[in-house]
Amino acid sequence: ADSQKNKAIIMGMVQRGGRLKAKYLKEYWTPTILNTLIDNVEKGTYLMTDDSCIYRKTGRLGYLHSSIKHRKKRYVFGDIHTNTIEGFWAQVKNSLKSTYKSVSHKYIQLYIDELTYHYNSRFSSVSVFESLLSRLCGLPEKELDKSVLFEMKVFS
């Protein structure tokens, strides 16, 4: 139980082939987790989770739900799996152990936001610099003209 005291609780939600959201939670409590789900995932969505009892009430909340029984060493059953989010967790663990080494609970959401950003933009053709510049200029990334980039580079 002592080893669990300092562990951060992070809830991740990913749409297959889509975007990911990850939130630091101050407590591992069913209402907190379900409220985070309600705030971030549209009702009627088909959820696929592990077999934690915390997700049992999702059907009553307006979600379709299937779970995979990790406790029984089952990881895939047809289309039902959590491999997409598990891949993200592997990246998070690697980053927190190797790159960042020590992360306080005070700043964990900032680290998670950075890792989420990298995950969500992994297939983007827009560079991080172009993305940042377009946001600073108040332009959508697609409308960023290369001449703006060139001018900004000259004056910086």
Predicted pLDDT of residue 1: 42
* Cα–Cα distance measured from residue 20 to residue 16, given in angstroms and rounded to the nearest whole number: 9
Q: Read off the pLDDT of residues 123-139 as tens digits, 9 standing for 90 and up.
A: 888 888 888 888 888 87
pLDDT digits (tens, 9 = 90+) for 31-43: 999 999 999 999 9
- What confidence score (pLDDT) does residue 151 get? 39
Among 24, 29, 30, residue whose Cα is nearest residue 12: 24
Intervals of the chain under pLDDT 50: 1-2, 144, 147, 149-156
pLDDT score of 150:
46
pLDDT at 38: 93
pLDDT of residue 135: 81
Q: What pLDDT does residue 113 have?
A: 93
Q: Which residues pair with 23 in a beta bridge?
A: 11
What pLDDT shows up at residue 109? 93
